[in-house]
Amino acid sequence: MSPSSTMYKGKTGQWAFVLHRITGFLVFMFILLHIVDVSTLNSPHIYNSIHKLYGNVFLRLFEVGLLFALLYHALNGLRVVMIDFFPRAIKNEKGVFMFMLSLAVVMTLIGAVFILKPFVTGKV
């Protein structure tokens, strides 16, 4: 098998791959930060003030971005698993990609309503 035949080239698959890599990287960076902030649990004062900070509108927008990255990575990952394990099941690879991307966008928008609502209603 020559190297070029194993590389992703052009079209939908390449963009799916690039977005998968970027979102995976971002989610992983957040996990590292998240482990550190949760590790302050045994100092309740510090933990609670950090979580108050997460209620800030900029960090809420960041939370929406995290939700999209997580949803896209999870749904596209499912597409990759389907292609690898059941190659015959997927006849319309591009269609499945567009479906997963749209689903990630729609679910992010719905999630954004819940995440941003306390800020809009002035509860935070």
Partner 1 sequence: MASTIKRDSMESGSQRRSSRQNFETWSWLFMRLSGIVLFFLALVHFFIMHIMHDVTTTTVAFVAARWSNPLWRVFDWLLLALGLLHGTNGLRYIMDDYVRSPIKRMIVKATVYGVSGVLFFIGTLTIVTFK
Q: Does 78 bind partner 1 (CB under 8 A)?
A: yes
Helix ranges restricted to H, 2-122 = 3-6, 11-38, 44-53, 57-85, 93-120
Residue 70 engages partner 1 in binding (rule: CB under 8 A): yes
Q: Smallest distance from the beta carbon of 4 to partner 1, in angstroms?
A: 15
| Region 26-55 residues binding partner 1, contact defined as CB under 8 A | 27-28, 31-32, 35-36, 38-39, 41-42, 44, 47-48, 51-52, 54-55
Q: Give the CA distances from residue 48 to residues 2, 45, 51, in Å, rounded to whole numbers and listed in that order.
A: 55, 5, 5
Q: What is d(CA 77, CA 53) in angstroms, rounded to the nearest whole number?
A: 32
Residues contacting residue 80 through CB under 8 Å, at least 6 positions apart? 20
Binder of partner 1 out of 71, 96, 100, 104 (CB under 8 A) = 71
Give the shortest CB-11-to-partner 1 separation in angstroms. 20
| CA-closest candidate to residue 47, choices 64, 34, 61 | 34
Size of the site for partner 1 (CB under 8 A): 38
- The amino acid sitting at 17 is F
Residues at the contact surface with partner 1, assessed by CB under 8 A: 1, 21, 24-25, 27-28, 31-32, 35-36, 38-39, 41-42, 44, 47-48, 51-52, 54-55, 60, 63, 67, 70-71, 74, 77-78, 80-81, 84-85, 111, 114-115, 118, 124
